[in-house]
Chains A and B, each alone.
Chain A
């Protein structure tokens, strides 16, 4: 390429500039701009009524609600802590628009963790690890009586493992390995955890606050978090779609991730059954919608057997949980 004076531009200098008109008009940059325009602050939420509601509900209701919210408190800290490999991989793939968007993604995950930290501190009166860990429902105690499915901890087990593999691929610099690692990590993080497994949990908490006519601050926080999560999920599935269109063999990697943790999807797990009085069938139907949505966004074919298993009323886990 020549400059305006007719001399050739140094490729090393050209590589220092990433913005293009096509990138600025693209879907990832649009998500970045939306995130910047829709920033909200945890400090603006009023938790006074939530604290009063906590005082009036029963001990059983408290334990049921904490079973869900404590998982979110741990989960939001985990996803904040596990995002770096995706940023490193986006850099290694030369995707400046992805890196730009992920700068807002990481800030938002930290803010979600902050919301749950503040809610538990101001409403429940617990914050230190020793205070909150005793309410964490242990995954290994949720079992499938038929023995067909194993319920594992995808958030605290799969994300660190796929993250380490992706980070190593980014360091090594092999483009195919980075792309494959990105698809695995994003399938687990954005599609499975954020996009399918957790969605019914958001609805469970929102429905609980409506059912009990309580905790308006928690409900408002969840709705603000969900607005951010919509961008997170569709960033990941859009990135996967781009990589799968480039190499259709990557579709199999998505299905492998979902197969590995199939047990977590086919039934409702312990914290999702912790609040009495909810229509649990509704959340299984929603789970199918979210799974189909993620497949549509990634441009891949849904696994019909998985859908049938999610809807199968015979598959119902026994929850014999214990506090952590």
Chain B
């Protein structure tokens, strides 16, 4: 089931969407590395991710 996670970095607010939890963790880490030169803790992503509404894009 598709899941999403909102990045709360100052000045960001992107919502990252992926097909499942494992893909979401990978996508969020990619976002953190590319956009913020950083990383996120896996448990933080898992705990605060939510099931996505159908029809969302990969990253907004």
Q: Which residues of B contact A297 (CB under 8 A)?
A: 44, 47-48
CB distance from A231 to the nearest CB of B (A): 5
* B10 engages A289 (CB within 8 Å): yes
Q: Which of A231, A285, A289, A292 contacts B43 (CB 8 A)?
A: A231
CB distance from B37 to the nearest CB of A (A): 6
Q: Which residues of B contact A284 (CB under 8 A)?
A: 10
Q: Which of A234, A288, A307 contacts B44 (CB 8 A)?
A: A234
Does A296 touch B at the CB level, under 8 Å? yes
Residue with the highest number of chain A CB atoms closer than 10 Å, among B11, B36, B38, B42: B38
Q: Which residues of B contact A296 (CB under 8 A)?
A: 8, 48
CA of A277 to CA of B8, assembled, Å: 26
A311-B10 contact in complex given A203-B38, A286-B36, C-beta closer than 8 Å:
yes
**What range describes how many residues of B lie at the interface?**
10 to 19
* A285 engages B11 (CB within 8 Å): yes
Interface residues in B1-50 (C-beta closer than 8 Å to A): 7-12, 36-39, 41-44, 47-48
Q: Which residues of A contact B37 (CB under 8 A)?
A: 279, 282
CB distance from A142 to the nearest CB of B (A): 23
CB distance from B17 to the nearest CB of A (A): 18
Interface residues in A214-233 (C-beta closer than 8 Å to B): 226-227, 229-231, 233
Q: Which residues of A contact B11 (CB under 8 A)?
A: 285
Interface residues of B, dominant DSSP: loop
Q: Which of A31, A34, A230, A285 contacts B41 (CB 8 A)?
A: A230
Interface residues of A, dominant DSSP: helix
A292-B8 contact in complex given A31-B43, A233-B43, A234-B43, C-beta closer than 8 Å:
yes
* A230 engages B43 (CB within 8 Å): yes
CB distance from A222 to the nearest CB of B (A): 11
Contact bitstring A234-262, B, C-beta under 8 A = 1, else 0: 10001000000000000000000000000
Does A77 touch B at the CB level, under 8 Å? no
Does A80 touch B at the CB level, under 8 Å? no
Q: Which residues of A contact B36 (CB under 8 A)?
A: 282, 285-286, 289
Contact bitstring A19-50, B, C-beta under 8 A = 1, else 0: 00000000100010010000000000000000
Does A293 touch B at the CB level, under 8 Å? yes
* B38 engages A293 (CB within 8 Å): no
Residues of B bordering A, CB below 8 Å:
7-12, 36-39, 41-44, 47-48
- In the complex, 18 of the A-B residue pairs with CB atoms within 8 angstroms, ordered by the A residue number, are A203-B38, A226-B41, A230-B41, A230-B42, A230-B43, A230-B44, A234-B41, A234-B43, A285-B11, A286-B36, A289-B7, A289-B10, A289-B36, A293-B48, A296-B48, A297-B44, A297-B48, A311-B10
